[in-house]
Chain A
Amino acid sequence: MNLVKGKLLISLLLLPCFFYAETIHVGATYKFKTIKSAIAQSKINDTVLIHKGYYKEGTILIEKPLTIIGQNYPTLDGLHKIEILSVKSDNVTITGLKLINSGKSDIYDLAAIRVYKNKNIKISGNILENNFFGIFLSKSDHCTITNNQLSSTEQKQNDSGNGIHLLYCNNIFIENNHITGHRDGIYFEFVTESLIQKNISEGNIRYGLHFMFSSNDVYQENTFRNNGAGVAVMFSYKVKMIKNHYEHNWGSSSYGLLLKEIRDGEITGNTFEKNTIGLSMEGTTRITISNNNFLHNGWGIKICGGCDQGIVTKNNLIGNTFDVSSSGSTLSNNFTGNYWDKYLGYDLNKDGLGDTPFFPVTLSSLIMEQVPTSLLYLHSFVLDLIDQSEKLLPQLIPQNIVDKKPTLKKF
């Protein structure tokens, strides 16, 4: 009885909405045949319901708060010429559309959905195929982009745009999108206070996720697979990277995660698996790297010059060809309490920590770092011999990176 009452109450409360916001149907069998005419007739906060069909109407401009819903994915075709949806109003919701073939341009950033200087835009559950840019937000805030499928078949980096491209935005929420075949899966430039989670970005030409000058952002539980390179975080600060998977970013200069000129970052609980370089660091300050798994990478962690005050702790480094490599001059990065599968020490006092320190940078990896051509001798007897000679002549061991308390058990 109570339940029925409750339902009744909710219906009554919602009733005003039905009076004020009208639903306008668009489709071959309805009054409005084109989306443009429907939008022109609509009032503020109306719903435009687009039925299944094929629409090629040029750029559709949305200049008032509207909810645009596609039923059974109506197709909006840009015919490789134009931007498909231009949003120039706050409070717009776009959902259930299939947007294909936006134009390509060297001058304009043509996108399937372009949002200019707006608030409260919701873009969810759309399918975007073969567009230049997929979803492009500039100078917008408090927007959500969820459950979209973006794909492109462009092969060349120059002819390809980014999947989700954000420029000067803040408070953006990006969740559960699947992005493939674009230049960068997700691109952030001057974007702050935003959250990216549970997305899958795979098979993109350049990066799975790319940060430029974007600070105070969090990305978590995303998967970056088979991209030109996994994630690049550059010139940013206070970025949190939590529980992401960086998998199989495999190629001659590829990596799972690149940090360049960033500070106060946190990298926790991520898995780096089968990347050429798991984590590549350059010019980082106060980065905490903890509880991550580095599995079967070419290089687990590669530290280039100018990285200081980093903390590397409680990570598992297993099956990497080189666990850590460094060009030599690393400043005060603290490696402590990690699990290294190459550690051969012992634990006499049974506190779970090894009694002898572990030096993850081998002599051979140092040689390869300094003379890259010697990589040709990878897996050769000479380099094995050089690494073995470290044990006989400990003064040969590169001392600049040391884990004084390696653990004996995996985390």
Chain B
Amino acid sequence: MSRIIKYVMFDILRNRFVIGYCLFIMLITFGLLGLEEGSSKSTLSLLNIVLLVVPLISVVFATIHFYNSYEFMELLLSQPVRRSTIIYSEYFGVSGSLSFAFAVGMGVPLIFLNQGLVSVYLLLSGIVLTFVFVSIALLGAVNSKDKARGIGTSLLLWFFFTAIYDGLVLLIMFSFSDYPIEKYLLAFISLNPIDLARVAILLQMDTAVLMGYTGAVFSEFFNSWEGLIFASGLLLLWAILPMLLTVRIFKRKDL
């Protein structure tokens, strides 16, 4: 498997997209931190990159890469290689190289300009979100043979998690605003990896006090060991579960 991962990674590096991605993130991070060093405003902008750009790039790139390496996979399947090995290699190859690019791109400027717990949270969330969204994208891609449809599905999934889901939760908040719904909100928010990452990072910043009573409930939860383990466990589940489903489908798929 490691050999195939290596091939996938070489392939990604050769088309230079990932290097561009890395430089892009690095440039933006340096730019934002340079404008206002160490302030919470630049951290908020970085948060938006981690929550919007990283999942979007992961989703789009993983889907396109899956379709582009379709022939390569077919070729491999004519060899004595297991199907699960192939799709796992695809997964780890893509998410590995993307998260590596992200980690370098954002990590280097952060080490120089903004050390601290929030930076660690930003980096870890970015890396985990990369894995999560590559796995979601592959699930979308493996379901259809048509490239346009596959990319459409993946984009829709990205949009669902960044906007639609939150909109629905907001609606629920409105409808049940007279009830103590904090605990249920915690569950709702935990079910969305982007929200989970956002809340976990925001609670490390001093803007957390603006979140009022609900924020206090969340802060108590997320700043305890159980909460941290719970949150990271859920994020890991988000990276693993769609992938397991993908493998299941890919195994039975008529390529």
Assess whether B215 is in contact with A252, with CB atoms less than 8 Å apart. yes
- Selected from A321, A375, A379, A382, the residue in CB contact (under 8 A) with B215 is A375
**Whole-angstrom distance from the CB of B10 to the nearest CB of chain A?**
35
Assess whether A372 is in contact with B209, with CB atoms less than 8 Å apart. no
Q: Cβ of A158: which chain B residues have Cβ within 8 Å of it?
A: none
Residue-wise interface mask of A (251-285) relative to B, using a CB-CB cutoff of 8 A (1 in contact, 0 not): 11110000000000000000000001000000000
Centre residue among B162, B211, B213, B218 by max chain A CB count within 10 A? B211
Assess whether B44 is in contact with A250, with CB atoms less than 8 Å apart. no
Q: Cβ of B166: which chain A residues have Cβ within 8 Å of it?
A: 377, 380-382
Closest to A385 in B: B163
| CA gap between A382 and B48 in the complex, in Å | 12
| CA gap between A256 and B131 in the complex, in Å | 44
Q: Cβ of A374: which chain B residues have Cβ within 8 Å of it?
A: 170, 173-174
Within 8 A of B (CB), among A363-397: 367, 370-382, 385
Closest to B169 in A: A377
Q: Cβ of B177: which chain A residues have Cβ within 8 Å of it?
A: 370-371, 373
| CA gap between A376 and B189 in the complex, in Å | 9
Q: Cβ of B206: which chain A residues have Cβ within 8 Å of it?
A: 250
Q: Cβ of A379: which chain B residues have Cβ within 8 Å of it?
A: 44, 47-48, 198, 202, 207
Assess whether A373 is in contact with B210, with CB atoms less than 8 Å apart. no
- Selected from A367, A371, A375, A385, the residue in CB contact (under 8 A) with B210 is A375
**Whole-angstrom distance from the CB of B187 to the nearest CB of chain A?**
13
Closest to B159 in A: A381
- Selected from B41, B163, B210, B214, the residue in CB contact (under 8 A) with A382 is B163
Assess whether A380 is in contact with B198, with CB atoms less than 8 Å apart. yes
| CA gap between A276 and B208 in the complex, in Å | 10
Residue-wise interface mask of B (173-214) relative to A, using a CB-CB cutoff of 8 A (1 in contact, 0 not): 110010001100100010000010011001000110111111
Q: Given A370-B177, A381-B166, do A250 and B47 touch, yes or no (CB 8 Å)? A: no
Assess whether A254 is in contact with B209, with CB atoms less than 8 Å apart. yes
Closest to A253 in B: B212
**Whole-angstrom distance from the CB of B9 to the nearest CB of chain A?**
31
Closest to B47 in A: A379
- Whether B108 sits at the interface, judged by CB under 8 Å, is no
| CA gap between A381 and B192 in the complex, in Å | 13
Q: For chain B, which range describes its interface: under 10, 10 to 19, 20 to 34, or 35 or more residues? A: 20 to 34
Closest to B162 in A: A381
Assess whether B209 is in contact with A252, with CB atoms less than 8 Å apart. yes
Assess whether B207 is in contact with A298, with CB atoms less than 8 Å apart. yes
- Selected from A252, A380, A385, the residue in CB contact (under 8 A) with B216 is A252
- Selected from A250, A321, A373, A380, the residue in CB contact (under 8 A) with B173 is A373
Closest to A374 in B: B173
Closest to A297 in B: B210
| CA gap between A374 and B210 in the complex, in Å | 11
Centre residue among A372, A375, A381 by max chain B CB count within 10 A? A381
Closest to A276 in B: B209
| CA gap between A252 and B211 in the complex, in Å | 8
- Whether B20 sits at the interface, judged by CB under 8 Å, is no
| CA gap between A253 and B209 in the complex, in Å | 8
Assess whether A378 is in contact with B173, with CB atoms less than 8 Å apart. no
| CA gap between A253 and B210 in the complex, in Å | 8
| CA gap between A362 and B52 in the complex, in Å | 22
Assess whether A380 is in contact with B195, with CB atoms less than 8 Å apart. yes
Assess whether A373 is in contact with B214, with CB atoms less than 8 Å apart. yes
Q: Cβ of A251: which chain B residues have Cβ within 8 Å of it?
A: 209
For the complex of A and B, the 5 pairs showing the least CB-CB separation, nearest first, are A382-B166, A298-B210, A371-B177, A375-B211, A373-B214
Hey, which bits of chain A sit against chain B, CB under 8 A?
Answer: 250-254, 276, 298-299, 319, 321, 367, 370-382, 385
- Cβ contacts A to B, 18 pairs, < 8 Å: A252-B213, A253-B212, A254-B209, A298-B210, A299-B210, A371-B173, A374-B173, A375-B210, A375-B211, A375-B212, A376-B189, A376-B211, A376-B215, A378-B202, A378-B207, A379-B202, A380-B166, A382-B166
Given A276-B210, A373-B177, 9 more A-B residue pairs with CB atoms under 8 Å apart are A299-B210, A371-B177, A375-B210, A375-B211, A377-B169, A379-B47, A381-B52, A381-B162, A382-B167
